Structure formats: structure tokens, C-alpha cells
Amino acid sequence: MNLPRDLRRRVTEQRLHRGDLVLERPCRLGRYGAGALFILAGVIANMSIYFRPTSLFNTLVMLILLVGGLGLIARALRPHPAAKSG
């Protein structure tokens, strides 16, 4: 797409204002939103996780709950239609 520089900037600003860019959402959480996101990512990256042997049932329950939680998060981040009044 070969748009003039000022038009590209305006389109990007409009997309940011509407919330279309997913990576920009955490930065809009407030003054420290991006910093908190980087700290959380650093903590998660440096964690040492060890799995103890467990039964197949417990493993399946954990995986199902994990997928369900990720589904709820994805559903919450998806744009919702405006509610009708009246």
C-alpha cells in the first residue's frame, strides 16, 4: 500500500483510537501499563517449572481448565456489538 506519509499516520492513529492494534492495548492500561507488562513477561520467562508425575485424569482436567481460561480471555478481548437501547 503506497499511501502518503501523513495519510498513513492518520490511519494508524485512527486504528489506535479504535483499539484495532492488539499490541497497543496493554500500553493503554495507564501510565505504567507497558512497564508492568514487561515485568510480568520477565518474571514468567525466568520461572523454573517442574511437573511431578500425575494421573491421566488430573492432567486432562488441568489442560481442559487451561484451554477454557484461554478461551474466556480471548472472548473478553474480542470486540462486542453495541447494545440496543429501548
Q: Which domain holds residue 25?
A: 5-77
Q: For the residues 21-50, what does the mean pLDDT come to? A: 75
83 belongs to a structural domain: no
84 belongs to a structural domain: no
Between 5 and 29, the more confident residue is: 5
Query: What confidence category does residue 62 fall into, taking pLDDT thresholds of 50, 70 and 90?
Result: very high
85 belongs to a structural domain: no
User: Where does residue 37 rank: exposed (0-12), middle (13-18), buried (19+ CB within 10 A)?
Assistant: middle
Total domain count for the chain? 1
44 belongs to a structural domain: yes
Between 76 and 65, the more confident residue is: 65
86 belongs to a structural domain: no
CA 42 to chain centre: 16
